[in-house]
Amino acid sequence: MAVLTPVCDFGWTASDFLLPGTDGKTYGLADVAGPKGTLIIFMCNHCPYVKAVLDRIIRDAEDLALHGIGVAAINSNDGVAYPDDSFAAMQPVALPFPYLHDETQDVARAWGAACTPDFFGFNAAGALQYRGRLDASGKTAVEGAKRELFDAMVQVAATGQGPRDQVPSMGCSIKWKPE
């Protein structure tokens, strides 16, 4: 089921986390923060929305690093019900940034993550400035689409402020564990 993210809550600050990465290290928010800002992406392996744009996510993360933006991805999906999203299945995915596992789903709940992909862009002070989409792509990549996430985070790196007009990200709902 496709879900849209909420509107950006400008200035919101995230709770910290301590999550295992596919590289064998454990990361907190400060470990992935860049000097000019931080981008946290809630994503997973099996989502068709993520699969359609993963190459663009990687491209933008690499380009944002040049602007002082730190990037990490968090997979919070239920890996038992969705084995493609288990920690073991995450390990072969090659990303140029930490890919973290939120097995308890506590981080996703605390942050209000809604879908995959769900982008949280923070300024250097840790205040949320972007909660929009990557670009106009959905389950199919749109060729030549404006780089909305990239442009917004470059603006955040330069000014500390994100654009006021943002289009929500859309993707598969987070796969929550039964309560």
The answer to whether the pTM exceeds 0.85 is: yes
- HSE, side-chain direction, 13 A CA sphere, residue 101: 20
Structure tokens at 95: 């990303």
Question: 2-173, what's its fold?
Answer: Glutaredoxin (3.40.30)
- Give pairs for 90-96: CB < 8 Å, separation 24+: 90/22, 90/45, 91/22, 93/22, 93/45, 95/22, 95/58, 95/61, 96/58, 96/61, 96/62, 96/65
Structure tokens at 103: 């097995």
User: What are 13-72's pLDDT values in tens digits?
Assistant: 999 999 999 999 999 999 999 999 999 999 999 999 999 999 999 999 999 999 999 999
Mean pLDDT of 146-165: 98
Q: What amino acid occupies position 161?
A: Q
